[in-house]
Chains A and B, each alone.
Chain A
Amino acid sequence: DAKTTQPNSMESNEEEPVHLPCNHSTISGTDYIHWYRQLPSQGPEYVIHGLTSNVNNRMASLAIAEDRKSSTLILHRATLRDAAVYYCTRGSNYKLTFGKGTLLTVNP
């Protein structure tokens, strides 16, 4: 399986922007980049996904490098409720492959 690589943990202050990086250097040309987050004892929650172009939705923005070997999830104003494990995944209709994710801590 091709891997995604993320920092183990990051810290942010409330109401500040957060940039969560991910490397996926071996991603195939047809795989999408998905981001999910997970709170303790809950299932992963979809955040955003994209293929080549940058994407925005109500939760976040996704910036994808031109060579698709890396991407960055941007939370524009972190809140305490954004504290979670964030997973960058690569995938298709048939499968998403999760890595270990980044534990985001948000300080009040």
Chain B
Amino acid sequence: EPEVTQTPSHQVTQMGQEVILRCVPISNHLYFYWYRQILGQKVEFLVSFYNNEISEKSEIFDDQFSVERPDGSNFTLKIRSTKLEDSAMYFCASYTGSLSGYTFGSGTRLTVV
């Protein structure tokens, strides 16, 4: 069964550093997303991406965050200057837009120290 692949599985970074989280969505999917989940809390929507542009974003997705689909296969989330409160699991997801549901990756655990 096709999968959404996320790398790295775990990243530790110092506060103030830039991080890029990478995702390879399922190849025939049209919609792409980033979600995050702080330990013990619910899954929170960050941003959705369709037709090479952001289609919707949450209040969490401020100027420190950006997304890119640089080469038609990868989908990245960049955090420009990480804060301690950015520590969370970050999930990438993709969706065909029709018969099935969203497919989520296994996540990247980001730890900001």
Binding site for B on A (CB under 8 A): 34, 36, 38, 41-49, 87, 93-101
Contacts and interface: CB of A to CB of B under 8 A. Distances in A.
A99 B42 contact: yes
Contacts of A47: 101
A93 B44 contact: no
Contact of B101 (A46, A95, A99, A101): A46
Contacts of B102: 34, 36, 44, 46, 96
Classify chain B: how many residues form its interface, as a range.
20 to 34
Nearest to A38: B43
A70 to B, nearest CB: 19
A101 B44 CA distance: 13
Given A48-B101, A93-B50, A98-B45, 5 more contacts: A34-B101, A36-B104, A43-B105, A93-B55, A96-B33
B75 interface: no
Contacts of B91: 43-44
B100 A46 contact: yes
Contacts of A94: 31, 48, 50, 55-56
